[in-house]
Amino acid sequence: MVASDALAMLQETDQFIELNDGELVTLTADQITIENAAGEQLDRAPITVTIDAADAEKGTFPFYMLKEISEQPAVMRRLVSRYVDDAGTPQFDSAMLSALAAADRLYIVAAGTSYHAGLVGQNLFEHLAGVPTEAYLASEFGYHQPLLSAKPMFIFLTQSGETADIRQVLVNVKQAGYPSLTLTNVITSTLAREADYAVELGAGPEIAVASTKAYTAQVAVEALLAKALGQHKALPLAAAFDVAHQLSLAATGQQALIDQQDKLHELATEMFAQTRNAFFIGRGTDYYVSLEAALKLKEISYVQAEGFAAGELKHGTIALIEQDTPVVAFITDPITAARTRSNAEEVEARGAKVLRIASAALAEPGDQLIVDDLDPMLTPLLTIIPGQLLAYFTSLDRGYDVDRPRNLAKSVTVE
């Protein structure tokens, strides 16, 4: 059997033989022959893929997406027990940490949802590990490479590990001799194999096209890695940041939101049942989560949704606000909360239907949804849950196939 992803054959086998670029495989009923471009026969041992086929089942959930949203608290807890030692320090390969510590700038290269997780990661690496960090869209970076620093290191962030836009950047990075690390959910994937280092996201198989638990796992692993790197560099801020506690608070807060599914269904109907467009606004990490919440709504409910930096509305986009235009405002950053609130009031005054999602310490009467308090760098771990569930219920109400939206594939293996 031949497939582009191990998940497609898990019901049949856990033994897989990988093929590299330029190789030719001939399958007969009883033989597999692999040759390189020069016609030489290659001997390649199979690898064992350790994904439990049962993890790839839907169970009692109506859609994979709802199952995967519901698994997020367990993923947070699993990542803590997998990566954090008894002293509260995340443990990663020391050669990899030394390579990261030697870099004068980190370049996070990713696409779609993973890019949005990379934007959240910028703050974490800069704040906890003291290293300038920038997130880039792989499809842009590949052809318009910025001026690189003297000692760059590349972090490829990818659920599938097969995204072609990212792969072409990795090929160039390797040719140039720069060090690379892939953070991926599929540790046997091409991008994991080809980078110098690889770290597993450990979210478990993600089947729904809309990425959910991989996003929160990416943010959590970035936090773990940033803390480990900061401690490797003996930075006091990293030592003081209790990442295990934060992730366990995140797990509890996520569960509280998942338990409010009925309310979120009502809000989804109220906000998005009739609309053709919608806006998500916030500042800082709330802006980054706005981008991701908008992408979720777009891809599975086909509502034209945009994520905006709240302060940018007045520079043009506010012209689109009409009576009943849905606007979701994320308010979790103490530094900018008052300003985002005033942006929400500005659109409300022009007729918008505003849904305010605020963290407990910043909540005000009239806010429709409250999320638990968390370090402001990590609030997307909570605020994206209503973003995911609002998209899920909107798609459901409109009668679409939530797991398999039109025109999209799970692994995007073309540029």
From the CB of 344, what's the least distance to ligand M6R, in Å?
26
Based on CB atoms, which residue is closest to ligand M6R, 134 or 299? 299
Binder of ligand M6R out of 18, 353, 412, 413 (CB under 6 A): 412
Question: Which region, judged by CB under 6 A, interacts with ligand M6R, from 80-88, 105-113, 192-200, 358-366?
Answer: 105-113
Any contact of residue 216 with ligand M6R (CB under 6 A)?
A: no
CB atoms within 10 A of CB 72: 28
Any contact of residue 113 with ligand M6R (CB under 6 A)?
A: yes
Based on CB atoms, which residue is closest to ligand M6R, 163 or 343? 163
Binder of ligand M6R out of 10, 103, 111, 226 (CB under 6 A): 111
**Minimal CA–CA distance to 222: which of 311, 116, 144?**
116
CB atoms within 10 A of CB 67: 22
Instruction: Give φ, ψ of 272 to 5 degrees.
Output: -120, 0
Based on CB atoms, which residue is closest to ligand M6R, 227 or 410? 410
CB atoms within 10 A of CB 211: 28
Distances (CA, A) of 240 to 245, 375, 390: 11, 12, 35
Any contact of residue 210 with ligand M6R (CB under 6 A)?
A: yes
Any contact of residue 158 with ligand M6R (CB under 6 A)?
A: yes
Dihedral, 242, 248, 251, 252 alpha carbons, nearest 10: -120
With residue 41 as reference, give the H or E element that holds it.
strand 41-42
Any contact of residue 211 with ligand M6R (CB under 6 A)?
A: yes
What's the DSSP call for residue 6?
G
Give the footprint of ligand M6R on residues 159-178 (CB under 6 A): 159-160, 163, 166
Question: Which region, judged by CB under 6 A, interacts with ligand M6R, from 110-118, 140-148, 337-345, 346-354?
Answer: 110-118
Based on CB atoms, which residue is closest to ligand M6R, 170 or 268? 170
From the CB of 112, what's the least distance to ligand M6R, in Å?
2
Any contact of residue 303 with ligand M6R (CB under 6 A)?
A: no
**Minimal CA–CA distance to 340: which of 391, 271, 289, 275?**
289
Question: Which region, judged by CB under 6 A, interacts with ligand M6R, from 4-12, 147-155, 158-166, 379-387?
Answer: 158-166
Q: What angle do CA 163, 166, 172 make, to 5 degrees?
A: 140
Instruction: Give φ, ψ of 216 to 5 degrees.
Output: -70, -35
Query: Minimal CB distance to ligand M6R: which residue?
Result: 112
Any contact of residue 222 with ligand M6R (CB under 6 A)?
A: no
Task: Give dist(CA 10, CA 359) in Å, integer.
Answer: 41
Task: Give dist(CA 391, CA 301) in Å, integer.
Answer: 7
The residues binding ligand M6R (CB under 6 A) are 111-114, 158-160, 163, 166, 209-211, 295, 299, 412
